[in-house]
Amino acid sequence: MTAGKQAVRPLNTCLRCIRQPASSNVSLPAAPSRFFSSSTRNSEEAQLQKSDQFSDLDPRLVDNKRDEKRLIKTGVLPIGSRRRRAALRTAPDIPFEQLPYQCFQEARKVLQEDRQEKIRQIEVIRKRIANLESQDAAVGGETGVKEGRLRSMRNHLEELKIFADVNDPIVKKRFEDGEGDMNKPIYRYLADRKWRQHKRMVLMQRVTQMNLVPDVLPKIDPVADVDLAFGRRNVQPGEIVDSRVSEMVPRLRVQVFDKGERLVTVVVVDADVPVPEKDMFTYRCHFIASNIPLSPTNTSVALSRLDPKVDVSKEAPPKHIALPWSPPWANKGAPYHRLAVFVLQQAEGEIVDTAKVAKNTKRDGFILRSFMDKHNLKTVGITMFRTQWDEGMAGVMERAGLGDQVNVVFKRKRVEKLPYKKKDPSRYH
Amino acid sequence: MLLPRIYAPARAVIALSKASRSTIIRSSHALDALRFANAPFLSPTLTIVRNASHQSQGRANGAKDGPGKRLGAKKTGEEYVIPGNIIFKQRGTVWFPGENCAMGRDHTIYATESGYVKYYRDPVKHPKRQYIGVAFKRHESLPYPSNAARRRRLNMLATQVEPEPELQVGIPEGDIVVGEKIASESTVRAQPRAKAGSQLLMGKNYAYREANWQIGRAAERAGVKVREFVRGDRFRAWRKSAARKAANAERRGLRAKKRK
CATH number where B110 lies: 2.40.50.100
Final residue before a domain boundary, out of A93, A128, A154 = A93
Task: Spell out which residues of chain A touch residue B208, defining contact as CB-CB under 8 Å.
Answer: none
At A142-194, the pLDDT tens digits run: 667 888 999 999 999 999 999 999 999 899 988 988 889 999 999 999 999 99
Please give the residue range of the domain that contains residue A143.
98-176
Instruction: Give the lowest-confidence range in A102-116, A246-260, B5-19.
Output: B5-19
Most A-contacting residue of B117, B147, B156, B160 (CB-CB within 10 A), to test interface = B156
Q: Which residue of A has its CA nearest to B161?
A: A407
User: Residue B159: which of A215, A218, A411 has the nearest Cβ?
Assistant: A411
Between chains, do A274 and B154 touch, taking CB under 8 Å as contact?
yes
In a domain, A429, yes or no: no
Class of residue A161 by CB neighbours under 10 A (exposed 0-12, middle 13-18, buried 19+): middle
Please give the residue range of the domain that contains residue B192.
173-249
User: What is the pLDDT at residue B112?
Assistant: 96
Task: Spell out which residues of chain B touch residue A274, defining contact as CB-CB under 8 Å.
Answer: 154, 156, 158
In a domain, A424, yes or no: no
Portion of chain A with pLDDT greater than 70, in percent:
83
Between chains, do A409 and B158 touch, taking CB under 8 Å as contact?
yes
Task: Spell out which residues of chain A touch residue B149, defining contact as CB-CB under 8 Å.
Answer: 214-216
Instruction: Give the lowest-confidence range in A88-97, A204-213, B34-43.
Output: B34-43
In a domain, A257, yes or no: yes
At A64-115, the pLDDT tens digits run: 888 898 888 888 888 888 888 888 888 777 888 888 889 999 999 999 999 9
In a domain, A415, yes or no: no
Q: Are residues B180 and B232 in the same domain?
A: yes
- Cβ contact A238:A210 at 8 Å: yes
In a domain, B76, yes or no: yes
How many domains does chain B fold into? 3
Final residue before a domain boundary, out of A65, A93, A121 = A93
Portion of chain A with pLDDT greater than 90, in percent:
60
Q: Are residues A298 and A372 in the same domain?
A: yes
In a domain, B130, yes or no: yes
Q: Say which residue, A38 or B36, is predicted with more confidence.
A: B36
State how far the Cα of A24 lies from the Cα of A66, in Å rounded to an integer. 10
Query: Which H helix or E strand runs over A360?
Result: helix A354-360
Query: Which H helix or E strand runs over A134?
Result: helix A102-134
How many Å lie between the alpha carbon of A94 and the closest alpha carbon of chain B?
A: 56
Query: What radius of gyration do chain A's Cα atoms show?
Result: 31
In a domain, B260, yes or no: no
In a domain, A413, yes or no: no
Q: Are residues A88 and A103 in the same domain?
A: no
Instruction: Write the DSSP symbol of residue A332.
Output: B
Task: Spell out which residues of chain B touch residue A408, defining contact as CB-CB under 8 Å.
Answer: 158-161
How many Å lie between the alpha carbon of B97 and the closest alpha carbon of chain A?
A: 17
At B145-156, the pLDDT tens digits run: 989 999 999 999
How many Å lie between the alpha carbon of A411 and the closest alpha carbon of chain B?
A: 5
Task: Note the pTM of the prediction, 2 decimals.
Answer: 0.67
In a domain, B193, yes or no: yes
In a domain, B148, yes or no: no
**Confidence class of residue A54 from pLDDT cuts 50, 70 and 90?**
low
How many domains does chain A fold into? 3
Q: How many CB atoms lie within 10 A of CB A198?
A: 9
The CA–CA distances, whole Å, from B36 to B17, B31, B40 equal 11, 8, 9
Chain A residue set in contact with B, beta carbons under 8 Å? 211, 214-216, 218-219, 274-276, 279-281, 331-334, 391, 406-413, 415-418
Between chains, do A333 and B156 touch, taking CB under 8 Å as contact?
yes
- Cβ contact A158:A166 at 8 Å: no
Task: Spell out which residues of chain B touch residue A218, defining contact as CB-CB under 8 Å.
Answer: 147-148
State how far the Cα of A371 lies from the Cα of A352, in Å rounded to an integer. 12
Q: Are residues A156 and A223 in the same domain?
A: no
Q: Are residues A36 and A131 in the same domain?
A: no
Chain A contacts in chain B segment 130-189 (CB below 8 A): 146-150, 152-163
Q: Are residues A276 and A363 in the same domain?
A: yes
Cis peptide before A308 (omega within 30 of 0): no
Q: Are residues A205 and A317 in the same domain?
A: yes
Instruction: Write the DSSP symbol of residue A364.
Output: B
Q: Are residues A152 and A238 in the same domain?
A: no
User: What is the pLDDT at residue A6?
Assistant: 57
Q: Which residue of B has its CA nearest to A220?
A: B147
Q: Are residues A239 and A371 in the same domain?
A: yes
Residues A416-426 as b/e (b if ≥16 CB within 10 A, e otherwise) read eeeeeeeeeee
In a domain, A412, yes or no: no
How many Å lie between the alpha carbon of B99 and the closest alpha carbon of chain A?
A: 14
Would the pLDDT of A19 be above 90? no
In a domain, A425, yes or no: no
Q: Which residue of B has its CA nearest to A335?
A: B154
**Interface A-B: count of C-beta contacts within 8 A:** 69
Task: Spell out which residues of chain B touch residue A411, defining contact as CB-CB under 8 Å.
Answer: 156-157, 159
Task: Spell out which residues of chain B touch residue A418, defining contact as CB-CB under 8 Å.
Answer: 80-82, 85
In a domain, B62, yes or no: no
Between chains, do B159 and A416 touch, taking CB under 8 Å as contact?
no
The region that residue A293 occupies, defined by phi over 0 for left and psi between -120 and 50 for alpha, beta otherwise, is: beta
User: What is the pLDDT at residue B237?
Assistant: 94
Q: Are residues A329 and A216 in the same domain?
A: yes
In a domain, A242, yes or no: yes
Class of residue A45 by CB neighbours under 10 A (exposed 0-12, middle 13-18, buried 19+): exposed
User: Residue B198: which of A219, A391, A409 has the nearest Cβ?
Assistant: A391
State how far the Cα of B44 lies from the Cα of B180, in Å rounded to an integer. 115
How many Å lie between the alpha carbon of B118 and the closest alpha carbon of chain A?
A: 18
User: What is the pLDDT at residue A21?
Assistant: 42
State how far the Cα of B143 lies from the Cα of B135, in Å rounded to an integer. 9
User: What is the pLDDT at residue B173?
Assistant: 44
The amino acid at A342: F
Q: Within chain B, where are the H helices? A: 2-19, 30-38, 212-216, 218-222, 234-259
Q: How many CB atoms lie within 10 A of CB A100?
A: 7
| φ, ψ dihedrals at A82, nearest 5° | -65, -35
Q: Are residues B180 and B242 in the same domain?
A: yes
How many Å lie between the alpha carbon of A412 and the closest alpha carbon of chain B?
A: 4
Chain A contacts in chain B segment 60-99 (CB below 8 A): 80-85
Q: Are residues A387 and A254 in the same domain?
A: yes
Between chains, do B147 and A391 touch, taking CB under 8 Å as contact?
no
Task: Spell out which residues of chain A touch residue B85, defining contact as CB-CB under 8 Å.
Answer: 418
Look at residues B160, B81, B142 and name the one whose alpha carbon lies nearest to residue B115: B81
Final residue before a domain boundary, out of B87, B113, B135 = B135
Q: Are residues B131 and B194 in the same domain?
A: no
Q: Are residues A85 and A102 in the same domain?
A: no
Q: Say which residue, B37 or B222, is predicted with more confidence.
A: B222
How many Å lie between the alpha carbon of A180 and the closest alpha carbon of chain B?
A: 39
User: What is the pLDDT at residue B175?
Assistant: 46
Q: Are residues A273 and A326 in the same domain?
A: yes
